[in-house]
Structure 1
Amino acid sequence: MLLRFRVRRSRLQRLGAAGSRIGVVLLFLVAIRHLYQGGKLSSADANFRAVKASAQSLSTIQDSAGLRECFALLADRKDAGSDLCIRANNFLSRLHAAGLNIPLPPGGNVFERHGICAGACFIATNLRDAEQVMPNYIYHLLLTVGLLTHYGNPAFVSVYESGSKDRTADWLQVLGDVLDALSVPHRLELGGSIQREKGEDRIHFLARVRSAALVPLFEQCNATGQFCAPSNDKSNSSGRIIFLNDVLFSAADIMRLLQYPADLVCGLDLGMAAEPDMTEQEHHATVAAYLHAKWLMPQHLAIQFTRLSLLSKWWRKYHHKRKPLLREFGPLFFYDKWVARDISGRMFTNRSPYVVYQPSVDRVTAGRPVRVHCCWNGLAIINAEPFVRKVLGFREHREGECAASECSLLCDDMWRLGYDNMVMDPNVRVTYDLAGVNKLFHAFSSELPLGAPGLVYIPFRQEEVRDVMSLPKHDDISRESSNPDGHRTREVDCCDLKKGANMVEFRDPGVCHTSVVTLN
């Protein structure tokens, strides 16, 4: 009995010693992780301080016109050797070192520059916890503003930020310093008071914050004579609104979209696929790529492992709960399908060719612009006239309407009011994070967004603008008819957002159906 006790005590002692060693190893790994994270934070702090100091240096410059010219030259990737331009380039270099930046494509001088804002350009953005995109946002926004203002397009920048718990507001203060140096008028509202109230529907809240970003628009006519409702002797003095989401975009994207004399024009927003949208095959491929890259499992073994029936359901649950871990290994999907509708009123799809109407399919796959019923897609350029006339604004759905997004309802209202020139250029491709950038730009081996599945990329040509604007606005009349009032109506796909929900459950029965939209 005593011998058994001694044996058991010896085993317990060995287990205790082993447990102590494991504990020490775990503590060591935790310490290493904290040191690594601390190093990253320290590096991020140093980069931010460098950007801030460079921005403050620019704010002391008295030659705002010369500085705008420098940013315009840098946007065109031209050598700018003056001391002033060297300082501007130094600021952009510090921004580039501080975070993710979309590359500037070659050949920026192919765009028309003068008068493309039809009066003036109002750049509006809502931001919340957008620290990761801020270096790119500031970099390309300043290049855009430099191009616009240097070529005679007055610009105003309005940002409404609220609810951020990261450094978004600090980055916006940097932006404000440089806009001051450029003498570009702006209003950057930081820490805004609009918060989502308890029980408030998501779309009602989003309509309020989007409207808040447009508040300065309605003050400009009296203050500057810009963004005014058209009078009898001035047919189009209202300007255009460039509305940006918290996406990763290029200055060339904005300049390209501004070439279209449309009431609304957008590109494509592409992001990493969410697990519920994947097919079984796509899901297996994503997990296999993850196992191969992170667990060093041989690729053929990883593929076989994910196909084991006993593990399949477990993997899907794991994938759904660990989306950030697997995000970079999945396919690239079109994101804003809840809003986007092709010219027949049918919903865009996640996968190429994204549109459904066959004539549009043929054009999009060839990289050619098409007419659409609606789009937003992370970056939209809108005719400001109906806004300054106070006949259009962001809102939630009314009783009897599709419970759609504030952007979808905006499109429907524009059609009803006769602002129905709407175009999508599939060569403008914005995204949301590093995973999306790596897919679009082939891990930065390309300066062009060539990684959109199933799409050809074509350089900009002015003849494509003329061609798409010559297409009929009612390209597909098979879903159109006349109502008793004599107005045309169009059947438009609708996917209702349930009351109190944040996301549409597209796969739920009865969620998606057809609604009727009145046309002018």
Structure 2
Amino acid sequence: MPTIVERLIAIPTALKLLFALALGLSIGHLSRNSGGTTSEPWIGSGSVKSFRPQRVSSSYQMPLPTIDQRKRILDILSSLTAHHTRECTRYSQEAYVNQATERYAPLIGHKAPSTHSAFFNVFGGTEDEHALHRSSELSGDQHKYFFAINLYNSFDVIPDLFATLFRVGSVLGYHNVFVSIYENGSKDQTKALLRIFDALTRSVGMRITIRTSARTRGSFTHRIEYLAEVRNSAMVPLHERRDEGEFFDTVIFMNDVLPCVDDLLELIYQSRLQNAGITCAADYMYHDDIGAPVFYDNWVARDLNGTALENAPFENIFHHEESSSRFQRHLPVQVQSCWNGIAILDPAPIYQPPRIKFRMADIASGECSASECSLIGNDYWAAGFGRIVMVPRVKLAYDKRVYDIIHPPRRNLTAIRGYVKLGGLEDDPRSDPQDRSWYGPHDRLFVEEESQPLDFQPGPEHVWCWGWDGAGEIDGPDVDPIWEKMPDRSTTPESVSIKHDRSMAL
């Protein structure tokens, strides 16, 4: 007579999989509905009070895991998930680690640990203690961050996005972070990886909404209309949380890029330091004719003259002379528009009138059919939130080939473990040839100008626009470029005045 084990082995594989799936769904349903203590609801920290109704209880709140549980998950993710960006902070020079520790300390969303270096294990520290604390140990600055991500056939970059989001969340405070992912039309295993990510985020107490769809762009659907709808789909949970009484201070919109943890931290730091409406990175693609990476997103990026940036090496990207000088020194630059892989948005004009969202141009009224990311920049200017900043220090790539070129390893012997500096020049990016180069190592030292607020200027009267009116599969803009007139408000000093104070306690 066959044993129970033999009978189980004889069950067809398909039935085994169905049983395992049903069991997993049952356990997940029970865990989501299990009781437990919840953290105190957040009441907001921004100065725009008109869009903050009284907070109500939320079905999204859940018991926070213990410190040991969160540390265990973070250790697993730190060692297993990152692929292309796995080494980006592992061998950072000591001077940079000290600078980053001090620079990003105001972003800590929980009580700081007793030893300053423990917080920055992500920057190559060796201590085992992590800055992962229970809700009873949270700091007073509970700035809330909403991450919006669109994914399509993103199997190759998702592991790096996972690892970066977990590390950044451990700094900002998992309880302060909400991640919204909208995926549609993928033909690879993107959806399968997202199921894993969903489980792991919940295990550390970080809230997440992942929505997937089989929808793809139709042959006669306007490209910009489609892209605007996809981006707005990633923003839906922001408004759902608003209806529940929860508001966020900062929105981080990410494309399928390969960011390191300090890339995101620097963008958030600059966004809050500058009280910027939009803050973006600089992204790069490989140019076969040149045989090197060049600036990528010039369909969106515009300088203060309203001129398009160039797909060129960095000496020739900007036409605005002062901006070009700052860019080549890796200093934050005011621009008219940018997106460049990651954009940090002030959500105030999204929450309150004019309630900005991604859109296509009103072609019937004569508006140039620009990118949905250009149009949201124009709308921010028109709403009086025209403080738009590009951060050249943050260099983003979409594949490992470009990533490895723009983040070369440091060749300074004083930064190699086991060597001690004996005289010579002080650690200074102004004197280090690598730190002065276009690409340079990821651990480029900071200079004091990178921590200074910009003197924002009103926007240009006209902006160069190369429209895309066609609905079919066309490889680029299909109408003649024009100098488009901008709204009068965007050319006044009032367009760059601070209306929503998101500054840090430095």
TM-score range, shorter chain: 0.5 to 0.7
Q: What secondary structure does 2:218 align onto?
A: coil
Give the Cα separation in 2 of the matches to 1:172 and 1:166. Answer: 12
Q: Which amino acid aligns with 2:284?
A: L
Give the Cα separation in 2 of the matches to 1:67 and 1:396. Answer: 47
Is the CA contact 1:67–1:182 (under 8 Å) kept in the aligned structure 2? no
Is the CA contact 1:120–1:226 (under 8 Å) kept in the aligned structure 2? no
Give the Cα separation in 2 of the matches to 1:500 and 1:434. Answer: 32
Q: Which of residues 456, 470, 473 is equivalent to 1:499? A: 470
Deviation, structure 1 residue 434: 1.4
Is the CA contact 2:277–2:346 (under 8 Å) kept in the aligned structure 1? yes
Q: What secondary structure does 1:269 align onto?
A: strand
2:325 pairs with 1:362: yes
Match of 2:401 in 1: 435
Q: Which amino acid aligns with 1:269?
A: D
2:236 pairs with 1:252: no
Deviation, structure 1 residue 512: 2.5
Q: Which of residues 133, 140, 148 is equivalent to 2:157? A: 133
Give the Cα separation in 2 of the matches to 1:226 and 1:497. Answer: 37
Match of 1:79 in 2: none
Deviation, structure 1 residue 268: 0.5
Match of 1:304 in 2: none
Match of 1:159 in 2: 181
Which has more radius of gyration? 1
Give the Cα separation in 2 of the matches to 1:332 and 1:472. Answer: 30
Deviation, structure 1 residue 454: 3.7
Match of 1:376 in 2: 339
| Aligned CA-pair RMSD | 3.2
Q: Which of residues 208, 213, 225 is equivalent to 1:204? A: 225
Alpha carbons of 1:180 and 1:118: their partners in 2 closer, same or farther (altered >3 Å)? closer
Deviation, structure 1 residue 221: 2.6
Is the CA contact 2:219–2:472 (under 8 Å) kept in the aligned structure 1? no
Give CA-to-partner distance per residue, 1:442-496, whole Å, 9 cap, x none: 3798999x7997467753457524332xx1322xx7xx4xxxxxxxxx1111111
Q: Which of residues 101, 110, 113 is equivalent to 2:107? A: 113
2:380 pairs with 1:414: yes
Match of 2:480 in 1: 511
Give the Cα separation in 1 of the matches to 2:352 and 2:436. Answer: 38
Alignment of 1:439-458 (within 5 A): 439-442=405-408, 454=438, 458=444
2:102 pairs with 1:92: no
Give the Cα separation in 2 of the matches to 1:216 and 1:505. Answer: 32
Give the Cα separation in 2 of the matches to 1:453 and 1:405. Answer: 32
Deviation, structure 1 residue 104: 3.2
Give CA-to-partner distance per residue, 1:190-229, whole Å, 9 cap, x none: 2x15432330011110000100000000011343x432xx
Give the Cα separation in 2 of the matches to 1:64 and 1:461. Answer: 39
Task: Structure 2 unaligned segments of length 5 or more: list them.
Answer: 1-27, 33-62, 110-139, 416-428, 496-506
Alpha carbons of 1:456 and 1:367: their partners in 2 closer, same or farther (altered >3 Å)? farther
Give the Cα separation in 1 of the matches to 2:179 and 2:465. Answer: 33
Give the Cα separation in 1 of the matches to 2:309 and 2:141. Answer: 28
Match of 1:242 in 2: 252
Q: Which amino acid aligns with 2:151?
A: L
Q: Which amino acid aligns with 2:231?
A: R
Give the Cα separation in 2 of the matches to 1:434 and 1:121. Answer: 28
Match of 1:8 in 2: none
Q: Which amino acid aligns with 2:84?
A: L
Give CA-to-partner distance per residue, 1:387-428, whole Å, 9 cap, x none: 122620000011211111100000001100101111111000
Is the CA contact 2:70–2:204 (under 8 Å) kept in the aligned structure 1? no
Alpha carbons of 1:179 and 1:357: their partners in 2 closer, same or farther (altered >3 Å)? same
Q: What secondary structure does 1:88 align onto?
A: helix
Match of 2:296 in 1: 335
Give the Cα separation in 2 of the matches to 1:512 and 1:455. Answer: 32
Q: What secondary structure does 1:198 align onto?
A: coil
Give the Cα separation in 1 of the matches to 2:337 and 2:369. Answer: 15
Is the CA contact 2:157–2:256 (under 8 Å) kept in the aligned structure 1? yes
Task: Structure 1 unaligned segments of length 5 or more: list them.
Answer: 1-55, 71-83, 228-237, 283-329, 481-489
Match of 1:176 in 2: 198
Match of 2:24 in 1: none
Match of 2:168 in 1: 144
Match of 2:452 in 1: 466
Q: What secondary structure does 2:81 align onto?
A: helix
Is the CA contact 1:440–1:451 (under 8 Å) kept in the aligned structure 2? no
Is the CA contact 2:387–2:456 (under 8 Å) kept in the aligned structure 1? no
How many aligned residue pairs are there?
A: 362
Is the CA contact 1:495–1:504 (under 8 Å) kept in the aligned structure 2? no
2:307 pairs with 1:346: yes
Q: Which amino acid aligns with 2:76?
A: N
Is the CA contact 2:397–2:403 (under 8 Å) kept in the aligned structure 1? yes
Alpha carbons of 1:156 and 1:505: their partners in 2 closer, same or farther (altered >3 Å)? closer
Deviation, structure 1 residue 270: 0.8
Q: Which amino acid aligns with 1:64?
A: P
Match of 2:284 in 1: 270
Match of 1:217 in 2: 238
Is the CA contact 2:222–2:469 (under 8 Å) kept in the aligned structure 1? no
Give the Cα separation in 2 of the matches to 1:435 and 1:89. Answer: 27
Give the Cα separation in 1 of the matches to 2:452 and 2:438. Answer: 25
Deviation, structure 1 residue 159: 0.2
Match of 1:393 in 2: 357
Give the Cα separation in 2 of the matches to 1:240 and 1:429. Answer: 21
Q: What secondary structure does 1:243 align onto?
A: strand
Deviation, structure 1 residue 344: 1.8
Give the Cα separation in 2 of the matches to 1:455 and 1:129. Answer: 28
Deviation, structure 1 residue 114: 4.3
Give the Cα separation in 1 of the matches to 2:185 and 2:69. Answer: 32
Q: Percent of aligned pairs with the same residue?
A: 27
Give CA-to-partner distance per residue, 1:271-318, whole Å, 9 cap, x none: 112x5xx4xxx3xxxxxxxxxxxxxxxxxxxxxxxxxxxxxxxxxxxx
Q: TM-score, normalised by structure 1?
A: 0.63
Alpha carbons of 1:373 and 1:118: their partners in 2 closer, same or farther (altered >3 Å)? farther
Q: What secondary structure does 1:412 align onto?
A: helix
Alpha carbons of 1:130 and 1:154: their partners in 2 closer, same or farther (altered >3 Å)? same
Q: Which amino acid aligns with 2:357?
A: G
Alignment of 1:262-341 (within 5 A): 262-273=276-287, 278=289, 282=290, 330-341=291-302
Give CA-to-partner distance per residue, 1:53-97, whole Å, 9 cap, x none: xxx9xx99x862526974xxxxxxxxxxxxx3xx5323321214x
2:128 pairs with 1:104: no
Alignment of 1:183-202 (within 5 A): 183-190=205-212, 192-202=213-223
Give CA-to-partner distance per residue, 1:154-179, whole Å, 9 cap, x none: 11100001111111111111111111
Q: What secondary structure does 2:307 align onto?
A: coil
Give the Cα separation in 1 of the matches to 2:397 and 2:436. Answer: 11
